[in-house]
């Protein structure tokens, strides 16, 4: 039997705030594209038919406890009308496949409407919850694998999963900005570096560690070629970093994301990186 459960924001009971909404309905289809999976990489932008996947998901600290237990639909109390406003997300349990969908305020509607039928009738002032056609995350129990497309959309469902975001620590950020090829201006400092650039710093540190001194000189020349608005002091051989945008350009350059098209000679920035095998 299939069930639609709701996780409430504040209400707690013996099942941890999970309540039954409807049974015997299929809410989601398992997409064929689920087989196009790849390990999570914050630097990779998925194609439309791809999913990130986490293997052995039940072993992760951020896996929900109820996913590790046998599912028994009869153990869940029915969600009462007054608690619908407190739904945080929905879970459709269909043949040991769990579909998760966060519920936004735009999906809770209070409308006047009539259903299209041979005998339509008007319904006034009823609250509607719109279930979207897609799931934000899919957990397949028999393979113990979680699929998702956007980490931010499920971070509030699986508390702690945001550890997949790799960010440079404060110490690592300070250490990176002390490199002799960087000169900080306009009172810019490690304390002002936001999360997105901290992730890029973590990657850039690993990249630079693999470079020889000659490769570093080559990549700095490459940055000067593409980042013409990034001030460079030729005498001291350093880049002037005054804000987040300057730092982003430098970090993109270290990762060699800039390129020129062979036809049209157009300079571009790669939005994501996928290393091709030989």
What is the tens place of the pLDDT at every residue in 36-95? 999 988 778 899 899 999 999 999 999 999 899 999 988 999 988 888 878 889 999 998
Alpha helices, H only, 95-192 = 151-154, 170-177
- In the predicted model, what is the mean pLDDT of residues 123-137? 79
User: In angstroms, what is the C-alpha Rg of the chain?
Assistant: 25
Question: What pLDDT, on the 0 to 100 scale, is given for residue 118?
Answer: 79
Dihedral angle sign, alpha carbons of residues 153, 155, 158, 162: positive
Q: Supply the pTM of this predicted model.
A: 0.73
Nearest to 157 by CA among 75, 85, 41, 63: 63
Question: What pLDDT, on the 0 to 100 scale, is given for residue 140?
Answer: 97
What is the greatest pairwise CA distance in the chain? Answer: 83
Tokens of 236: 């001291």
Q: Inform me whether the pLDDT recorded for 210 exceeds 60.
A: yes
CB–CB of 251/241 below 8 Å? no
Confidence of residue 14 (pLDDT cuts 50, 70, 90): low
Q: Inform me whether the pLDDT recorded for 197 exceeds 60.
A: yes
Question: CA dihedral defined by 141, 146, 149, 154, rounded to 10 degrees?
Answer: 100
CB–CB of 121/98 below 8 Å? no
Q: Inform me whether the pLDDT recorded for 175 exceeds 60.
A: yes
Going by the DSSP 8-state scheme, the letter that residue 201 receives in this structure is: H
Question: What pLDDT, on the 0 to 100 scale, is given for residue 278?
Answer: 54
Going by the DSSP 8-state scheme, the letter that residue 261 receives in this structure is: -
Task: Read off φ and ψ for residue 128, nearest 5 degrees.
Answer: -110, 140
């Amino acid at each position: 039997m299939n069930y639609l459960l709701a996780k409430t924001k504040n209400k707690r009971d013996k099942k941890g705030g999970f309540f039954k909404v409807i049974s015997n309905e299929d809410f989601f289809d398992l997409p064929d594209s689920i087989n196009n999976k790849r390990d999570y990489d914050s630097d990779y932008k998925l194609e439309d038919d791809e999913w990130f996947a986490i293997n052995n998901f039940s072993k992760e600290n951020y896996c929900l406890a109820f996913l590790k237990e046998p599912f028994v639909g009869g153990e869940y109390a029915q969600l009462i009308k007054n608690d619908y406003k407190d739904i945080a997300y929905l879970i459709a349990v269909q043949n040991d496949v769990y579909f998760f969908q966060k519920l936004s305020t735009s999906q809770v509607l209070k409308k006047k409407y009539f259903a299209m039928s041979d005998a339509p009738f008007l319904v006034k002032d009823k609250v509607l919850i719109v279930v979207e056609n897609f799931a934000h995350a899919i957990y397949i129990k028999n393979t113990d694998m979680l699929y998702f497309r956007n980490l931010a959309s499920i971070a509030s469902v699986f508390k702690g999963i945001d550890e997949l975001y790799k960010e440079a620590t404060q110490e690592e950020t300070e250490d990176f900005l002390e490199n002799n090829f960087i000169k900080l201006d306009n009172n810019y400092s490690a304390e002002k570096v936001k999360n997105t650039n901290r992730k890029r710093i973590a990657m850039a540190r690993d990249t630079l560690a693999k470079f020889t001194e000659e490769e570093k000189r080559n990549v700095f020349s490459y940055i000067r070629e593409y980042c013409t608005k990034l001030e460079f002091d030729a005498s001291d051989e350093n880049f002037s970093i005054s804000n987040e945008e300057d730092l982003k350009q430098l970090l993109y350059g270290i990762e060699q994301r800039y390129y020129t098209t062979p036809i049209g000679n157009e300079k571009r920035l790669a939005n994501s990186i996928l290393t091709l095998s030989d």
